[in-house]
């Protein structure tokens, strides 16, 4: 019973925070996906000698937002899917319904968000996170 009351209070707080912009938006999630894709695109350009001329993220659907705490700051695990269109020199390459699973964290001052990527390393059983500012 106590657990249910605590979850209800937490849910109300999160809904209330959503009104002031503390929940990840579709625009924020799209920027985080683009950040990951840019890093991957650079690696592919070097390894395969393919000249990507950009990409578009379309039809983004957020299916789940799970609140959590990472390193004592509020964060969200956000899941969903999107369509991806790569621009190549001679054509477009479409990949439909690409799943995503992101960890997004709002910083202490509440003005910036970061994309968190878990690394394969761990310290004393704790996950080590790489962090990237989302512009």
**Where do the DSSP E strands lie in 88-125?**
92-106, 113-123
Report the residue count for the chain: 135
Q: Which two tokens stand for residue 62?
A: 């957020």
Looking at the domain assignment, is residue 15 inside a domain?
no
pLDDT of res. 76: 97
Q: What is the mean pLDDT of residues 11-19?
A: 45
Specify the number of domains making up the chain: 1
Q: What is the mean pLDDT of residues 4-10?
A: 42
- What is the extent of the structural domain holding 36? 21-134
Quote the pTM value: 0.75
Helix H or strand E segment including 131: strand 126-134
pLDDT of res. 7: 45
Looking at the domain assignment, is residue 7 inside a domain?
no
pLDDT of res. 1: 53
């Amino acid at each position: 019973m106590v657990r249910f009351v605590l979850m209800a209070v937490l849910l109300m707080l999160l809904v209330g925070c959503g009104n002031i912009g503390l929940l990840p938006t579709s625009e924020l999630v799209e920027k985080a996906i683009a950040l990951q894709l840019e890093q991957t695109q650079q690696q592919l350009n070097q390894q395969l000698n393919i000249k990507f001329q950009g990409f578009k993220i379309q039809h983004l659907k957020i299916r789940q937002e799970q609140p959590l705490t990472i390193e004592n700051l509020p964060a969200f695990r956000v899941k969903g899917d999107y369509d991806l269109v790569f621009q190549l020199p001679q054509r477009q390459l479409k990949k439909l319904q690409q799943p995503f699973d992101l960890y997004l964290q709002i910083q202490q001052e509440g003005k910036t968000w970061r994309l968190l990527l878990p690394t394969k390393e761990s310290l004393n059983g704790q996950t080590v996170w790489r962090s990237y500012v989302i512009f």
